[in-house]
Amino acid sequence: MKYETVIGLEVHIELATESKIFCSCSAKFGGEQNDHVCPACAGMPGMLPIVNKRVVDLGMTAGMMLNCHINRTTTFDKKSYYYPDLPNAYQTTQWFAPVAVNGTVEIETSKGKKNVRIKQIHMEEDAGKLVHDDWTNTTLVDFNRTSVPLIEIVSQPDLSSAEEVVAYLERLRSLLRFAKVSDCRMEQGSMRCDVNLSVRPEGSDKLGIRTEMKNMNSISAITRAIEYEVARHIDAIENGTEELVQETRRWDDVKGKSYAMRNKETAGDYRYFPDPNVMPVVIDDEWYDGIKATLPEFPEVKRARYIDQLGLGEYDADQLVESRAFCDCFEEAYAVCGNAKEVANYLISDCMNLLNKKQMTVDMLTLEGKSLGELINLVTEGKVSRPNAKKILAVMFENDINPAEYAEKEGFIVSNDTGKIEKVIAEAIASDPKAVADFKGGKEKALMALFGKCMKELKGNCDPQTLREMLIDAVNKQ
């Protein structure tokens, strides 16, 4: 018999906010244990939650990027359960009126394009982390991650293979990074995924028994886990190897197997109810339109525009739309210098090299597009040589400098003073009569020694073509 797989995903994404969702503690990843903690996120009595407006901004942005309806009145609810990393013994989340509902995400796989429906996106707080110390056989709690804002994106069960799941996750990642909702880094846990999966005979309209795998945090592990689970389900149905039950399972990527979690951890009545301390958030037209106006073009729209209107090659366009930071810088620089190819070259080769050298990701690019455009203008106007432009770029990468002022100050401006160039040439010729003789004797290469000497003396601030011509003139006159 042929089977089909039915998969729905719950994707948790940490939002790129400075502070936590209900208090002013830092929401940054890492830090010394329990450094980013205050009485509110440590669950002490008397603190009241104040909604971080930025979280709602990003929740709405995510909703709009995924074509959702935005609930103009959105509310927060409490979800109760006991766990030591949850200091209040409840998580504040959205149950009754999530910020966004009914969206769609288009994915593309080897089988073509497909729409995946989004059930809802809700905002909530993250839990802390437990740290197990085997040496003393104790468990300690780190509350740094407690109340870090998350959105959870719940899809409908529209996915049917690991390939589709991967395409869906990549698409979410691309859209949300583009909209600066999150850096979506699975390895740091800022994007995590619960996979709900069942298997049924092809063509059947009845769903099979569903299992859930929680907190998957790498694309390759998700692929392996789905393939394993599908095989396990089919085996159980065909050969009766085990009885399938609706349960939560843990994926062990090292062993390549999934395990049933203890029943206790899975059974739960979360006793949701509206949080009386958080007033309903009402999104008025001004707020809604303001967020709408900040939405970026979708990556594929940008890509097409870069190719069709700005004349970039496909490779360059693909490289740029990998990252919103690159696109922003590219567009700002292009607005200043009007030379798309040139800007793309600086970003894709020089800036990428600099980022790699500093072990930074593309999203960490802070280069001012305007300055890059100005630098390119200096080059195309012949005021700064290409090698010197690279030196200036390296400085611009770390400091907010005006390239023209900096070039002036550091003596990087190409000299138009022919008197000075002639003087330097005369000195070079005088210091190396052998090279002059060799060149005159037909050794073309001999000129390079003289050329190099002059360029060095001029600190590179000379148009190479001009220098070359003047040098040949001078040597021939000897």
Partner 1 sequence: MYITKNGVKTDKAIVLDDMILTKDMPTTAGSRMLEGYNSLFNATVVDKLTDAGYEIAGKANVGEFAIDVMGETSHFGAVKDDEGNLSLGSAEILKKEKVKAAIQLDVNGAPRRASAVSRLVFVKPTYGTVSRYGTVPVACSGETVGVMAKSANDCLEVLEVISGYDAKDGTSLPADMIEEAGEIKRVAVVTAFDGSIDDGVKADIDAFVKTLEAKGVAVEKIDGAGLLASKTAWNILMSAELCNNVSRYDGVKYGYRTSDYTTIDELYTNSRTEAFGDLLKTAILYGSETLSDENYMKVYDKALRVRRVTVDYFDSLFENYDAVLMPATSKKAYGEADVKDMAYEENLYTAPASITGLPAVVAEGVQLVGKVFSEKALLELVKLCKEGE
- Binding stretches for partner 1 (CB under 8 A): 39, 42-51, 78, 80, 82, 84, 87-90, 139, 141, 269, 271-274, 276-279
Shortest distance in whole angstroms from residue 149 CB to partner 1: 16
**Residue from 229, 230, 181 nearest 202 by CA:** 230
Do 33 and 73 form a contact (C-beta atoms < 8 A)? no
Task: Closer to partner 1 by CB, 69 or 271: give it.
Answer: 271
Shortest distance in whole angstroms from residue 40 CB to partner 1: 9
Task: Closer to partner 1 by CB, 49 or 103: give it.
Answer: 49
Shortest distance in whole angstroms from residue 380 CB to partner 1: 53
Side-chain-side CA neighbours of 348 within 13 Å: the count stands at 17
Shortest distance in whole angstroms from residue 84 CB to partner 1: 5
Task: Closer to partner 1 by CB, 81 or 315: give it.
Answer: 81
Task: Closer to partner 1 by CB, 246 or 294: give it.
Answer: 246
Task: Closer to partner 1 by CB, 110 or 138: give it.
Answer: 138
Shortest distance in whole angstroms from residue 134 CB to partner 1: 17
Task: Closer to partner 1 by CB, 46 or 203: give it.
Answer: 46
CB crowding 373-386: b at 16 or more within 10 Å, else e: bbbbbbbeeebbbe
Task: Closer to partner 1 by CB, 29 or 272: give it.
Answer: 272
Shortest distance in whole angstroms from residue 142 CB to partner 1: 13
Burial class (CB in 10 A: 0-12, 13-18, 19+), 80: middle
Do 320 and 327 form a contact (C-beta atoms < 8 A)? yes
**Residue from 129, 57, 49 nearest 93 by CA:** 49
Shortest distance in whole angstroms from residue 49 CB to partner 1: 6
Do 336 and 374 form a contact (C-beta atoms < 8 A)? yes
Task: Closer to partner 1 by CB, 12 or 78: give it.
Answer: 78
Shortest distance in whole angstroms from residue 54 CB to partner 1: 16
**Residue from 131, 10, 475, 62 nearest 291 by CA:** 62
Task: Closer to partner 1 by CB, 85 or 322: give it.
Answer: 85
Burial class (CB in 10 A: 0-12, 13-18, 19+), 139: exposed
Do 454 and 467 form a contact (C-beta atoms < 8 A)? yes
Torsion, Cα 49 54 60 63, to 10 degrees, reads -100
Task: Closer to partner 1 by CB, 90 or 412: give it.
Answer: 90
Give me the residues paired with residue 257 across strands.
Answer: 252
Length of the chain: 478
